[in-house]
């Protein structure tokens, strides 16, 4: 579900107290990209007004995106890549002005790589509701101030509808492939179901057919961590007079999420019961290495993401159910007759392999029949962001279909 090299990797397994203290100063009210910030490699496209599934109205929607490689004259070599919950359009490139992190799929996208930019034009939008340039809670509403808590409730289907309008604006009628991992896999599935005539092949990586009660429950704890922060102010914190955003709540949500991105065995092997501090636990003041790990990345996250977007995107993930209004999961997936890579990770405890197997079982175009393709890895959900060679080999297999 997460990104950046991957995002939860330490400079070392055991971060120093000095490194942790470096992140303890006050973060900005929002860590998301705001108008007036350096643009970096982003481009922007306006897609007009959008009415959401549940009657929300969002005027003048803007989608931020990046492209890698050139669109050919026939305009038939484009590949659409959807990002995960806290990802963005920056697939390739160094961190710098406008981009708080390195590209999150640099080993997958590029000349001679599985998503070969000498052959394909890779299109990576920041989804509607995101905080890296696309319209979201931190964007200005028609009232001239940030949307904040009044930003409409979004579903995965709303976001896919916005992306389809975005493709229209770019003049791309059909994609050679649509690819997504984690939350992006939800978008890829919905694209295949709602835009079947606009895609030749599909990759659904580490994503479920529906968000289960267990997953919604885990998401609720993250949402409540943010909403119970007094500085959240019902989502209307962008002009807070004290200049303080819901940093504590957002960092806590991040800590909770990180525990599901890696397997329990990997965390145990990596940290065990090692103490980070030289202070004796019997004397007080000590801390476990895994606590330092979670604190570091919780605090780091508040400097590159927006709490309002986090709430909006998690709620959209909760809406995910490919069978809603389509006669159930089996009936919906039975229409996916295009070549489809369904990739799962046995050690994933966030979106478990059972979900990927269910997608493969009911998808006629599944590359490996009724069983999802496996990536064996100790890294849990994050494996699709770490196991570049294995994931890349499977994407190359899909593109050869």
So which residues are the catalytic ones? 182, 348, 381
Position of tokens 């997504």?
180
- How many other CB atoms are there within 10 angstroms of residue 96's CB atom? 12
Tokens matching residue 91: 């697939």
Position of tokens 């065995």?
265
The candidate with the shortest Cα–Cα distance to 235, out of 125, 312, 333, 334, is: 312
The candidate with the shortest Cα–Cα distance to 64, out of 4, 137, 124, 3, is: 124
Residue 59: C-alpha distances to residues 129, 157, 315 (Å) = 13, 18, 21
Instruction: Report yes or no: 257 and 350 within 8 Å, Cβ to Cβ.
Output: no
Q: What is the DSSP letter of 63?
A: E
Calpha distance 159→156 (Å, rounded):
5
Total residue length of the chain: 401
Calpha distance 119→70 (Å, rounded):
8
The candidate with the shortest Cα–Cα distance to 147, out of 309, 301, 29, 32, is: 309
Calpha distance 264→172 (Å, rounded):
43
How are beta strands 57-68 and 121-125 bridged, if at all? antiparallel
Residue 33: C-alpha distances to residues 26, 40, 44, 267, 383 (Å) = 17, 11, 13, 32, 27
How are beta strands 115-116 and 57-68 bridged, if at all? unpaired
Instruction: Report yes or no: 161 and 319 within 8 Å, Cβ to Cβ.
Output: no
Name residues whose C-beta falls within 8 Å of residue 185's C-beta, 6 or more positions apart in sequence: 82, 204, 205, 206, 207, 351
Residue 126: C-alpha distances to residues 54, 161, 168, 214 (Å) = 22, 13, 16, 27
């Amino acid at each position: 579900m997460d990104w950046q090299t991957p995002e939860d990797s330490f400079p070392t397994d055991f971060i120093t107290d000095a490194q942790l203290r470096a992140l303890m100063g006050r973060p900005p009210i929002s860590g998301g990209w705001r108008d007036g910030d350096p643009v970096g490699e982003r481009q922007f496209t306006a897609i007009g007004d959008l009415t959401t599934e549940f009657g929300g109205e969002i005027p003048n929607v803007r989608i931020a995106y990046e492209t890698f490689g050139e669109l050919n004259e026939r305009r038939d070599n484009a590949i659409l890549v959807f990002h995960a919950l806290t990802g963005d359009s920056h697939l390739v490139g160094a961190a710098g002005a406008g981009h708080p992190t390195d590209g999150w799929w640099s080993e997958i996208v590029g000349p001679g790589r599985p998503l070969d930019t000498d052959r394909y034009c890779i299109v990576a939008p920041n989804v509607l509701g995101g905080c890296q340039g696309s319209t979201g809670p931190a964007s200005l509403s028609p009232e001239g101030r940030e949307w904040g808590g009044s930003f409409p409730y979004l579903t995965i289907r709303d976001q896919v509808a916005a992306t389809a309008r975005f493709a229209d604006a770019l003049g791309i009628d059909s994609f050679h492939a649509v690819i997504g991992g984690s939350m992006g896999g939800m978008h890829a599935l919905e694209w295949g179901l709602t835009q079947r005539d606009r895609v030749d092949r599909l990759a659904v990586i580490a994503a479920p057919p529906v968000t289960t009660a267990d997953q919604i429950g885990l998401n609720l704890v993250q949402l409540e961590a943010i909403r119970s922060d007094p500085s959240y102010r019902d989502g209307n914190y962008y002009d807070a007079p004290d200049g303080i955003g819901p940093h504590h709540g957002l960092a806590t949500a991040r800590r909770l999420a990180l525990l599901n991105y890696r397997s329990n065995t990997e965390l145990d092997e990596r940290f065990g019961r090692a103490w980070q501090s030289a202070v004796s636990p019997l004397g007080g003041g000590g801390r476990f290495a895994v606590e330092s790990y979670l604190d570091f990345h919780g605090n780091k996250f508040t400097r590159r993401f927006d709490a309002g977007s986090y709430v909006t995107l998690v709620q959209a993930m909760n809406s995910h159910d490919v069978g809603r209004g389509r006669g159930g999961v089996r009936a919906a997936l039975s229409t996916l007759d295009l070549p489809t890579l369904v990739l799962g990770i046995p050690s994933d405890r966030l979106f478990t392999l059972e979900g990927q197997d269910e997608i493969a079982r009911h998808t006629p175009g599944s590359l490996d029949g009724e069983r999802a393709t496996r990536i064996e890895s100790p890294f849990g959900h994050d494996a699709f962001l770490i196991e570049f060679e294995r994931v890349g080999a499977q994407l190359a297999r899909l593109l050869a279909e």
